[in-house]
Chain A
């Protein structure tokens, strides 16, 4: 199938190629079977009445990767997930799983499982019955059901909770049950809709590393929805940034962060300085839109000459914001506009940093850290 061939090729040329290829289990390799399951969306749009929830999305998710969909509220992430799971039919376009067109297939005929944002556990069933459910409806023999459910509960560290009711669990434990209930079916693709959204920060960080570990060990493709950019950057192999039903950029976390393609991505993923118009002409020698990350900017004493590979811009510190580990300096440039520079508080403490307010400075950053942005289409 052409879809599958393309997938294999892109898997191998991917810069995470080592990981992806080693992601095929040795047993499968010995048998010569490469199960390359992908999700492919082609020209997918979804309208709800007059609302375009998803607007012309093309997407290819590779086998075994941790793929995140990042975007603000209402940007269409959940809708894309529901289109892949089969809860919604696209208005236009097609959805393929492993090269097979599943656009019109109901959810129960698709080899994907979902961890819902609200977990959607069955309240009248015990934890064990919840986890067994997928096997039960597929008429898997009882003995196998029990052992697989136990295994899945062990994976999420809930061995002792099998007989409890979901109502008698904490939020984090419910989240794990939802995960076990999906994993027990050994899906090729697992869809997760902001699964950590309801957890407090500490539990969230714990679950992040556990999820990552499970994904690596079970070698399942994860499609992970989040609106938390840190989560997306730290966990993913690749990230798609959504805005108003469209994908603005797809790339590795480093690509998306270091080389944002559009002003939206530059602003949404991390904080960014926008240099454009007259200011850009004066400093960079050309009109256009550029982005510079605050942490890339060095703050030098006034009159200092920049290095050859650097851009330099004199200015005055308008404000100093102390933030614990770092301090943000807001600098008004002589060329016009205001840039934020971020500095680690390695040598100075907060009081010392605050005293710089009003001082003249030169800002300098490497030419290569200036990223040209294309306007969103």
Chain B
């Protein structure tokens, strides 16, 4: 493509601006976490690791992080099992109402989180509370699973639709029973989609706040809930910056990995 000098400059400026909008706020947070001053003073007055140390010693933060990891892993596990099975049913078997089931499965991701939250809250209250199961980690996992299933379902069914059925036919032809075919042939073919779906599901669960608010009991605090709580508190601002910085690095890692794996 041929561009004249002026449009080339304009294009570069636009790109720089775009990147700036995306990354300057992140950079500010990163720098702030090493800021020696207490009160977001700008420019930073000096370099210090005291906030990182403070964050490390904050017991509420550690508990919240651990809760979030468990909620994320739990929701992802549920989503992997149910989402994969649903994807199989919807792509490999013909049954009455197949289209409707696919639609109903995808719907929750489009519903506002607050609607899902209210609905789940009401449902748990009427179903689980009489059984003696209170609000806590379990209800958070179930809540998160509602949208995590969709992610896995979408990824896996997209892959299955592009996978020719002849591999599964060949496997059955060679004497493999249904489960063997699934284990040896289909699963390896959808492994990438499962991995991507799991990563996305975990990420969604990890930063979810609206549904969590309605499904977590008073004693259960995930990391986003903790951040939300502490942002407004005096003296906790820099610690929140530390958490945010850690999350930036942690989430950049899988994205970078996925990017590298999909590059030729």
- List A residues at the B interface (Cβ < 8 Å): 85-87, 106-108, 112-114, 116, 118, 120-124, 133-134, 136-138, 181-182, 185
Contact = CB atoms under 8 A, between A and B. Distances in A.
Nearest to A124: B188
A134 B166 contact: no
B196 to A, nearest CB: 17
Nearest to B172: A107
Contacts, number: 61
Given A137-B180, A137-B184, A120 B174 contact: no
B175 A120 contact: no
Contacts of B164: 118, 120
B186 to A, nearest CB: 11
A70 B149 CA distance: 48
Contacts of A118: 164, 166
Interface of B: 164, 166-167, 169-177, 180, 184-185, 188-189
B103 to A, nearest CB: 23
A116 B174 contact: no
A128 to B, nearest CB: 14
Given A118-B164, A120-B164, A122-B185, A137 B170 contact: no
Given A118-B166, A120-B164, A120-B167, A113 B173 contact: yes
Given A116-B166, A124-B188, A106 B172 contact: yes
Given A106-B172, A108-B172, A133-B176, 5 more contacts: A116-B170, A133-B171, A134-B174, A137-B175, A181-B170
Given A122-B185, A137-B184, A114 B176 contact: no
A56 B166 CA distance: 26
24 contacts: A85-B173, A87-B169, A87-B173, A107-B172, A107-B173, A108-B174, A108-B176, A108-B177, A113-B174, A116-B169, A118-B164, A118-B166, A120-B164, A120-B166, A120-B169, A122-B170, A123-B189, A124-B188, A133-B184, A137-B174, A137-B175, A137-B180, A182-B174, A185-B175
A149 to B, nearest CB: 13
List the 6 closest A-B pairs by CB distance, nearest first. A134-B174, A120-B166, A120-B170, A137-B176, A107-B172, A124-B188
Interface centre among B174, B180, B189 (most CB of A within 10 A): B174
Contacts of B167: 120, 122-123
B98 to A, nearest CB: 16
Contacts of B189: 123-124
A252 B169 CA distance: 32
Contacts of B175: 108, 134, 137-138, 185
A185 B170 contact: no
B218 to A, nearest CB: 49
Given A120-B164, A122-B185, A137-B184, A107 B169 contact: yes
Contact of B170 (A86, A112, A114, A124): A114
A118 B166 CA distance: 8
Contacts of B166: 116, 118, 120
Given A120-B164, A120-B166, A120-B167, A181 B172 contact: no
A182 to B, nearest CB: 8
B177 to A, nearest CB: 6
A110 to B, nearest CB: 8
Contacts of B185: 122
A323 B185 CA distance: 50
Contacts of B170: 114, 116, 120-122, 181
Contacts of B173: 85-87, 107-108, 112-114
Interface centre among A108, A116, A123, A182 (most CB of B within 10 A): A108
Contacts of B184: 133, 136-137
A157 B170 CA distance: 22
